Copies of this chain bind each other. A is one copy, B any other.
Amino acid sequence: MPNGVPNGVREITYREAVREAMVEAMREDAEVFLMGEDVGVYGGAFGVSRGMVEEFGEGRVVDTPLAEAGFVGLGIGAALMGMRPIVEIQFSDFITHAMDQLVNQAAKLRYMFGGKARVPLVVRTPGGAGTGAAAQHSQSLEAWFIHVPGLKVVMPSTPYDAKGMLLAALDDPNPVIFYEHKLLYNRKGDVPEKAYRVPLGEARVSREGEDITLVGAGLVHRFALEAAEALSDEGVEAEVLDLRTLSPMDHEAVLRSVEKTGKLVVVEEDVKTAGWGAEVVSRVVESESFYALDRAPARVAGADTPIPYNKNLEAFIRPTPEKVVEAAHKLLDSRAGVYA
């Protein structure tokens, strides 16, 4: 084993896992390149690409001017020509500048051209709040993109998935928006050294349980897990699902769990109204699983506000493990309904 690591598995951070995927892909395939603001010698705003320009040079780890629409567009064109661009948007809030390129171009070219084009573009971007960076640097806007057919949207919560899903995203012939979370970058987890793929579009049962289903993704999937531990202490065994991919959404996995537990809480970081949690809830209640639900489902989400600067204010409007527990309690304490 290299470095004497058993089975080549080490504990590394989420940041390192993302970097490792990029490095391995770039070593394998000369057509892969990374482009974004300050991804070179600066190493990216969150240090994700640190060291990469030294290995691959400025031609493949490309510092861009501030031109989010322009360089996303460039990525689309390069992808159309068969290259495999990874474009980094420094904070996911700035994706607002690239909406035309992502929505009207990347997502639709293939369809508009009658299926005779591919746009294998990966857009990596750190989302989420909790850093005191306030309203323009803290948003979770992933729900917008699941509303755009032609795009895939992934949001891994573990270093293992981060690496495996980024490699899968790079294999994918479609444009993929790859959401990272600033507060996950330092989280550690077991990651194989070798390249591997975690298929897009498959949720993962991260904890089994019979009593209630908690569905999360990204950072807040961890809140769901923490809440599950707390509930377990009270004798309530929650099943926790990590959606991992928001689009295409693995609602089948959610349905399976809800059929078992009859109770659903969705945990999401974005603004509650029209967040991706609404889609999860809707897919469950529109299906036969509606009749398996014995309680009204619930969403634990960000408040319907921008993200405030002050720490306490920010904490107040964000989801927390405690709020998940509270929602579970409320749900379990409410009157049960069982269909006749």
Contacts and interface: CB of A to CB of B under 8 A. Distances in A.
Given A147-B275, A149-B305, A298-B286, A96 B93 contact: no
Interface string A138-171: 0001011011111000000000000000000000
B135 A337 contact: no
Give the most central of A100, A107, A112, A147: most B CB within 10 Å: A147
A223 interface: no
Interface stretch (A23-31, A58-66, A211-219, A277-285): A277-285
Interface stretch (A42-50, A224-232, A289-297): A289-297
Contacts of A296: 285-288, 290-291
Interface stretch (A8-16, A74-82, A116-124, A266-274): A266-274
B147 A273 contact: yes
A108 B306 CA distance: 7
B279 A285 contact: no
9 contacts: A97-B99, A99-B99, A111-B306, A143-B147, A147-B271, A273-B279, A291-B335, A337-B339, A339-B339
Interface in A72-102: 93-94, 96-97, 99-100
Interface string A246-274: 01010000000000000000000011011
A217 to B, nearest CB: 14
B144 A147 contact: yes
A331 to B, nearest CB: 10
Interface residues of A, number: 58
A33 interface: no
Interface string A296-340: 111100001110100000000000000000000000000111111
A205 interface: no
Contact of A112 (B107, B134, B143, B146): B134
Nearest to A134: B112
Contacts of A338: 339-340
Closest 6 CB pairs of A and B: A337-B339, A290-B296, A96-B100, A96-B99, A278-B278, A147-B274
B274 A285 contact: no
A236 interface: no
Contacts of A131: none
A103 interface: yes
A143 to B, nearest CB: 5
Nearest to A112: B135
A10 to B, nearest CB: 37
Nearest to A290: B296
A141 B147 CA distance: 8
Contact of A278 (B282, B290, B339): B282
A71 interface: no
A32 to B, nearest CB: 27
A285 B285 CA distance: 8
A276 interface: yes
A147 B272 CA distance: 8
A104 interface: yes
B339 A306 contact: no
Contacts of A288: 296
